[in-house]
Amino acid sequence: MTPEFVVDIGRRAVETVLTLTAPLLIVALVTGLTISIFQAATQINEQTMTFIPKIVAVLVTLLIFAPWMIKVMISFTQSIYDTIPTLGG
């Protein structure tokens, strides 16, 4: 196992994690920004007002994207398992 191989696996793992979390983070960001704009417009300064809508939005997004996320995770895991036979030195 060469250092380049380990770095490549690490890079692919980070790319996979960023790909999987991007939809959830984007939805949380947009939801939080929307609620913040609403709070600024109405001058409501309730800190807890953002938590429930964000949780619901992320949960709905997770339900929508779960099949795709599972496929990506399975594909990544299979590619890792496929490289195991080539590790023998």
Number of domains in the chain: 1
In this prediction, residue 69 carries a pLDDT of 97
Q: Which domain holds residue 28?
A: 3-87
pLDDT of the chain along its 89 residues, tens only? Answer: 788 888 999 999 999 999 999 999 999 999 999 999 998 898 888 878 888 999 999 999 999 999 999 999 999 999 999 988 887 66
Query: Would you state the pLDDT for residue 89?
Result: 60
Q: What is the pLDDT of residue 1?
A: 77
Give the Cα separation of 86 and 84 in Å (integer).
5
Report d(CA 30, CA 13) in Å as an integer: 26
Q: Residue 17 has what pLDDT?
A: 97
Residue 73 near residue 20, CB atoms below 8 Å:
yes
